[in-house]
Amino acid sequence: MPSRIDETYPFKALRIAVLTVSDSRDRASDRSGDTLEERIRATGHELVDRDLARDEAPVIAERFRRWIDDPGVEVVISTGGTGVTGRDVTPEALAMVVEKEIPGFGELFRMISFEKIGTSALQSRACAGVANGTYLFCLPGSPGACRDGWDEILRWQLDIRHRPCNFAELMPRLKEGQG
C-alpha cells in the first residue's frame, strides 16, 4: 500500500537539491546522483541544485547549511556516507544541522532494504530530519538504495496528493513556534 494519490488535489512541485557524498566519485561517475535527478524530474519536481562533497562531516554539514538557508530549496536529498566505516559520516553531519529528527524514515528504509537484501540492511544508517523548514533525507550511496528510497518512500511523501498524509502538506507548518 505505498501509494494513495488523491487526484482531486493539484500536484505541487517541490524544489529539491541533491548532494552526493563521496571521496571517489565525480559528476561523470555519480550514478546515484543521476538516479535521484532522473526520478525527481520524472515525477515533476524541480532539481534546483546538485553537488558533490567529500566524506568529511564539516564539509557535508556546511553544504547542508547553505541549502537550509536558501529559501529556494525545500528538500535536500543526500546519497552516500551512511554506512558504518570510518569515512561514513553523513549521519554525523546531519546531526550538526538538524532541529528535529525523522527516525521513521531510516526505520522504513531499512525495512524496505531488508525485503531486498536481507540482514545487510543493518549496515545502512539512512536518516532524515528538518532544519529551518527544510527537509533533509540521507540515503546510502548506491543507485539501488536511491531507487528504493525514492520509489518506495520519498516519491509518495513529497507528493502533496498522497493520502492519508505526507511531508509536503506539512511544509507551511515546519517553522511553527520558531521566533
pLDDT tens-digit series, residues 30-79:
999 999 999 999 999 999 999 999 999 999 999 999 999 999 999 999 99
Look at 26-30, 38-42, 80-84, 134-138 and tell me which has the smallest mean pLDDT.
26-30
CA distance 99 to 26: 30
Decide if pLDDT at 167 tops 60.
yes
- Which of these, 35, 31, 17, 12, lies nearest to 150 by C-alpha position? 35
- Give pTM, 2 decimals: 0.96
Decide if pLDDT at 3 tops 90.
no
The CA–CA distances, whole Å, from 104 to 60, 111, 127 equal 22, 10, 8
What are the domain boundaries of the chain?
Answer: 15-172
- Is there a cis peptide before residue 91, judged by omega within 30 degrees of 0? no
- For residues 16 and 75, the answer to whether their CB atoms sit within 8 Å is yes
Decide if pLDDT at 1 tops 60.
no
- 15-172, what's its fold? Molybdenum Cofactor Biosythetic Enzyme; Chain A (3.40.980)
